[in-house]
Amino acid sequence: MRKKEFWDYEKKDRASGHSLGSRLLRIFLVGGCFIASATIVISLFFYYYPSEAARTALAVQDFAKQLAGIAEPEEDPPLQSASAPRNLQQSPSHPSAAASAVNAVPLVVAASQTVPPPQEEPTAAEPEIPLITFSSSQGDIDQLGQSDKGVFTNDDYLVMLDSTMGPMLYYNQGDNRWRDYLYGGTDPMSQYGCGPTVAAMLINAFSEYVVIPPNLAEWAAVNGYHSPRNGSRHGIIPGALSAYGLQVESAAGADYDTAAGLLRSGHILVALMGKGTFSSDGHFVIITDILENGNVHIADCYSLENTKMEWDLNLLLSELKHSRDDGAPLWAVSAP
């Protein structure tokens, strides 16, 4: 009688757990051998025929995408790189120690522009700043600085003045953008900010720096030129303008001929108006230009209406403050 082999089984044992386990084991062994053999064959094929393997992989990938209903784009869109912002003005260097005895650090409003990506709509061009329209009427010293007193209209002023040194952007201390800025942390610019506003006009127009009145107010407060509830100390004019690179010299005691000669030679005059018909506490104005008839134009940072009129230079000189500290009450300004 032959020995019963592993592959033999009796019909009576078909329902037993031992015979079923033997069959499952045989299936696993045979399947494992087949999978191992197929894996070896495929690996050898991929190793010796890499290009064929790549094409086969792509074909399988495309077939899988078709089964999943994924549409392949015809062509990848080109890559687009956003343009980096470019600085239109480099940060200026600190003024020399000789120019700034108070070790001033000018505060600068940097101008920058970001170039938009190609797909974006072009931005609207900046509006052209109009030149001021002057009136032929002559101003009255009794009206100087009074027409807008305490009656600011929350305007944003945007007007260009002409002067003996060239175009100058007009700043008003009651401008809506900074009228409520607290000069020295206590005093509103609209009432006490004539000094920083006058200095900012000149620096912005005739130096390499781009500044607005709050910049100069902060600079003045840091450097000791703010006088609480009085505005600015007289030294703010020579101190700030020199720190930002402009030439400033005292013209105190100048008569009509001297002042007119300075204007005709390309200087701008900064006048400290005294107590009287013009002001009860003092006020800085800029004498910007002299006309053929001998009258002058001014930049009054308190009143745009006063800025539009002609003024008698003799009347302005007669109303100067009697102070003589820091070169007051009249300074001649020129470009370096």
Report the CATH number at residue 94: 3.90.70.10
Comparing 4 with 294, the larger pLDDT belongs to 294
Comparing 269 with 276, the larger pLDDT belongs to 269
Which pLDDT band, with edges at 50, 70 and 90, does 96 fall under?
very low
Q: Is the pLDDT of residue 267 over 90?
A: yes
Please state, in angstroms and as integers, the Cα–Cα distance from residue 143 to each residue in 134, 148, 149, 190, 313, following that order.
17, 10, 10, 19, 15
- Dihedrals φ, ψ of 233, to 5°? -70, 150
Mean pLDDT of 4-10: 49
Which pLDDT band, with edges at 50, 70 and 90, does 290 fall under?
very high
137-141, 164-168, 328-332: least confidently modelled range? 137-141
Please state, in angstroms and as integers, the Cα–Cα distance from residue 118 to each residue in 75, 80, 122, following that order.
20, 9, 9
Find the helix packing angle between 194-206 and 213-222, rounded to 10°: 110
Share of the chain above pLDDT 70, in %: 63
**47 domain-assigned:** no
**59 domain-assigned:** no
Which pLDDT band, with edges at 50, 70 and 90, does 124 fall under?
low
**52 domain-assigned:** no
Structural domain range at position 279: 89-115+127-334
| Residue 260 near residue 313 (C-beta atoms within 8 A) | yes
Residue from 284, 266, 291, 285 nearest 135 by CA: 291
Identify the three-state secondary structure at position 4: coil
**11 domain-assigned:** no
**48 domain-assigned:** no
**15 domain-assigned:** no
pLDDT at residue 9, as a whole number: 46
Mean pLDDT of 23-48: 75
pLDDT at residue 27, as a whole number: 81
**294 domain-assigned:** yes
Find the helix packing angle between 213-222 and 236-243, rounded to 10°: 110
If one counts the domains in the chain, the total is 1
**252 domain-assigned:** yes
| Residue 127, preceding peptide bond in cis (omega within 30° of 0) | no
